[in-house]
Amino acid sequence: MIIYHMKYLSYFVTNQLNDSWIELPLLKPHHIIQSRDIKRYFTGDLESPVESYPLFQGLEKHYLRAQIARITAATQISPRDYFVLDYNSNSYKWRKLNSFQSKVMSQKWIHEYAVNVDYNPLSVYDLLEPSNWVHHTPLISEKGVTQAWTNIIESGEDLQQNSEGIDYGCKLRTNLEIGKGDGDQLDIFRNLSNDAYMGEMPPWKFELTNRFDHTNTYATIRSNLWPGAHAVARENLLDYTYHGWGHKWGAFSFTVQPLSGYQLSNSYQDDIGMTIEMGDPTREEELKYLAIVQKRKEKRARRKVNALRPFSAADEDEERILNKHDYE
């Protein structure tokens, strides 16, 4: 399944490049929450129901859209200072709003960023350091949404408007509270060195495409959290790709949630109350058991020896009579 996305996160998918492209529906928070509790392979049929436990309230296209959002939020990274927050891109939308509405709009658009025209490219060797890479997209909270707001400190004054747009008359502190989601409380533009390990597995792997020819090599960053997600960078060039099953890697085996409201029958509950753990045998009991086993082995061995003893003269006479053989 091939996915193409435009600005403002409109995604189009197709099974073949020569087929028609289908736009995925808008994302809803409950799709994100429910997709975290299941693991399911995609069939390629967007209209097929997702039969799973726990229940996923949607079709495969909704599940696909939720997985895309989770992968994008956790793996969209860029070199440090490659992007900058663009505070002025939507300031014209705030000019006719009151102070409260301006704050709401500033919270909504605070994650809009643009390429830094003054970006100083890092060398491919510097790009192999996690501290030189940052997350430039907001991550997803436990409630299935992104959370961001601005806190105004050192002054109780509201944002003031002037002819040039918004006047930041007081000192602003941008505080992006992401919450416990797919990225472990990572703020926007926070470097990758703060990403949590998954057990003993580091979240990222840094490599060079060509370790022998340094003039034509690129820095590649592979996500271990979402296998199949890669970022490639060199000088002012940055690109991403994902080729995987849409499953998040876990340090522990996937465990299905227990049935809610389910209780054992009375017969099973009675057995649970009567269950007693047996104690370990003593050394004397072990030796006694081994002696019994050895005696049984010796008895079976004697039976085999008796079954293979040679024929006697009486046995040969009996065989001659039964089979009517004449050996003379």
The beta-carbon contacts of 231-234 under 8 Å, at least 24 apart in sequence, are 231/75, 231/77, 231/78, 231/133, 233/78, 233/79, 233/127, 234/124, 234/127
Stretch among 11-25, 76-90, 262-276 having the lowest mean pLDDT: 262-276
- pTM comes to 0.64
Rounded to 5 degrees, φ, ψ at 109 are: -100, 10
Question: What does the pLDDT read at residue 106?
Answer: 52
**Residue 191 scores a pLDDT above 60:** yes
d(CA 246, CA 24): 16
List beta partners, residue 13. Answer: 3, 22
What's the whole-number average pLDDT of the chain? 75
Question: What does the pLDDT read at residue 138?
Answer: 82
Question: What does the pLDDT read at residue 233?
Answer: 95
Stronger pLDDT, 208 or 144, i.e. the higher one: 208
Ramachandran region of residue 246, left (φ > 0), alpha (ψ -120 to 50) or beta? left
d(CA 101, CA 90): 13
**Residue 54 scores a pLDDT above 80:** yes
Q: How many CB atoms lie within 10 A of CB 290?
A: 10
Question: What does the pLDDT read at residue 169?
Answer: 35
225 and 203 Cβ atoms separated by less than 8 Å: yes
d(CA 105, CA 60): 33
Question: What does the pLDDT read at residue 160?
Answer: 44
Question: What does the pLDDT read at residue 114?
Answer: 86
Q: What percent of the chain has pLDDT over 90?
A: 39
